[in-house]
């Protein structure tokens, strides 16, 4: 069922069908009804997605999600898709694994799909000028910026929270709640990405608060797999190292910390507090509900689209926007 079939069956031209599907005003009511009757009969619902597909002339933005199945990305992706639709752009969605080179991928996708711009949702923060040169259309880093690379600010846009500051604030909050022995659970302190930034924020907060950095409380679990996080916290408990709070750099890792503490005979938050970062809807429903800093997921997505389309349309320059996470009180942190 193509737009041509619809036109044939409705007895009108392809351009008339196109105008009806795109809600152009210059179609008479009877003709519009006739076309829509066929569209409906053949379930060729003129939804945005299908409309997009039958309009190859539409400008398309590539959206490349890094790390498949990350629940943090789902609402951002939804916001990106919605905002692109509202602005009349098509979307070409792809996901790459964490170990893949998303920039090489983006460059290839740009050519094969004739993209007008690219949104990288998550990814490495160490692009070099040489690497980025392969991408010749405007791009936005969504949820991160290129702080470990050497791209000039004018070469791309970014929309993110300040990851260092978020970790700093989380440690500060835990300290206000009476905690001084605060473990940090993260994949890798040298990941040239969000882990490294949040580790920096953690270290800065300890220094600011005049607390020692205890290396054995920095739990590197080598990835975002839940069992890695779980094992790292169980090992901490087995080591006998004293600790009254765990800050996890993602909500999912925070869940594994709560479970590990529970299985190790510690009550959360009575014996040990746990705080997450990022904020997922799911962790509002887990027991105890997670205390976390919530990223403005919808705003991250929508702002990325707004900036990118302005650059594409010549209506604005590249920008670097920092958004604020919001504190969400759960039941996983107790006053000490």
Task: Report whether 325 contacts 279 (CB < 8 A).
Answer: yes
Q: Which of 259, 266, 306, 318 binds a copy of itself (CB under 8 A)?
A: 259
Task: By CB under 8 A, name the one of 95, 295, 303, 309 that touches a copy of itself.
Answer: 95
Give the nearer residue to a copy of itself in terms of CB position, either 243 or 260.
260
Nearer to a copy of itself, 101 or 150 (CB): 101
Structure tokens at 218: 């920095």
Q: x/- binding map, residues 197-236, to a copy of itself, per CB under 8 A?
A: -----------------------------x---x------
79 vs 161, beta carbon nearer a copy of itself:
79
Closest approach of a copy of itself to the CB of residue 201, in Å: 25
Which lies closer to a copy of itself via its Cβ, residue 100 or residue 319? 100
For position 294 contacting a copy of itself by CB under 8 A, the verdict is no
Q: Does 79 bind a copy of itself (CB under 8 A)?
A: no
The residue within the footprint of a copy of itself, chosen from 66, 119, 161, 258 (CB under 8 A), is 258
282 binds a copy of itself (CB under 8 A): yes
Closest CA to 144 of 157, 131, 132: 157
- Decide: is 23 part of the binding site for a copy of itself (CB under 8 A): no
Binding test (CB under 8 A) with a copy of itself, winner from 13, 47, 239, 242: 47
Q: Residue 181 has which token pair?
A: 């022995």
CA angle 24, 29, 35 (to 5 degrees): 75
153 is a contact residue toward a copy of itself (CB under 8 A): no
3-class SS shares of the chain: helix, strand, coil, % to 5: 45, 15, 40
For residue 274, give the H/E element and its range: strand 273-278
Q: Which of 243, 241, 219, 218 is nearest to 231 (CA)?
A: 219
Please work out the total of residues on this chain that contact a copy of itself, with binding judged by CB under 8 A: 52
Helices assigned H by DSSP within the chain: 3-10, 14-21, 29-41, 48-53, 73-86, 102-113, 129-132, 163-176, 194-208, 226-239, 251-263, 297-312
Cβ 52 to a copy of itself, closest distance in Å? 8
- State yes or no: residue 100 binds a copy of itself (CB under 8 A): yes
For the CA atoms of the chain, what is the radius of gyration?
24
- Tell me how crowded residue 115 is: count the other CB atoms within 10 A of its CB: 22
Q: Maximum Cα–Cα distance for the chain, whole Å?
A: 79
Among 264, 289, 312, 323, binds a copy of itself (CB under 8 A): 289
Dihedral of the alpha carbons of 295, 296, 297, 298, in degrees to the nearest 10 = 180
Q: Which two tokens stand for residue 210?
A: 């005049």
Strand 139-142 vs strand 326-328: parallel, antiparallel, or unpaired?
unpaired
* Sole window of 14-22, 104-112, 188-196, 211-219 interacting with a copy of itself (rule: CB under 8 A): 104-112
* Positions that interact with a copy of itself (CB under 8 A): 1-2, 42-45, 47, 49-50, 53-54, 56, 68-69, 71, 74-75, 77-78, 81, 93-96, 100-101, 103-105, 107-109, 111-112, 130-131, 134, 226, 230, 252, 255-256, 258-259, 262, 281-282, 284-287, 289
């Amino acid at each position: 069922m193509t737009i041509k079939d619809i036109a044939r069956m409705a007895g009108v031209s392809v351009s008339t069908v196109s105008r009806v599907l795109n809600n152009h005003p210059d179609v008479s009511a009877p003709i519009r009804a006739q076309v829509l009757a066929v569209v409906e009969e053949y379930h060729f619902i003129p939804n945005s997605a299908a409309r997009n597909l039958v309009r190859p002339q539409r400008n398309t933005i590539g959206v490349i999600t890094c790390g498949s199945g990350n629940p943090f990305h789902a609402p951002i992706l939804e916001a990106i898709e919605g905002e692109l639709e509202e602005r009349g752009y098509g979307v070409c969605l792809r996901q790459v694994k964490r170990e893949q080179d998303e920039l090489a991928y983006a460059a290839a996708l740009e050519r094969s799909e004739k993209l007008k711009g690219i949104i990288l949702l998550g990814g490495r923060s160490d692009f070099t000028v040489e690497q980025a040169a392969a991408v010749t259309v405007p791009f936005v880093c969504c949820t991160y910026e290129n702080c470990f690379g050497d791209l000039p600010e004018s070469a791309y846009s970014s929309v993110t929270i300040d990851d260092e500051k978020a970790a700093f604030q989380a440690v500060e909050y835990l300290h206000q709640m009476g905690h001084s022995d605060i473990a940090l659970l993260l994949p890798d302190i040298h990941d040239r990405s969000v882990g490294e930034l949040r580790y920096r924020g953690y270290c800065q907060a300890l220094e600011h608060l005049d607390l020692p950095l205890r290396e054995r409380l920095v739990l590197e679990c080598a990835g975002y797999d839940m069992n890695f996080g779980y094992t790292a916290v169980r090992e901490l408990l087995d080591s006998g190292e004293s600790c009254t709070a765990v800050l996890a750099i993602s909500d999912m890792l925070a869940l594994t910390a709560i479970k590990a503490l529970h299985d190790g005979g510690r009550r959360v938050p009575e014996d040990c507090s746990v705080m997450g970062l990022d904020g997922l809807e799911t962790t509002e429903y887990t027991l105890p509900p997670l205390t976390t800093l919530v990223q403005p997921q919808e705003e991250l997505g929508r702002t990325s689209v707004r900036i990118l389309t302005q650059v594409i349309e010549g209506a604005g320059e590249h920008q670097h926007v920092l958004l604020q996470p919001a504190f969400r009180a759960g039941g996983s942190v107790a006053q000490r």
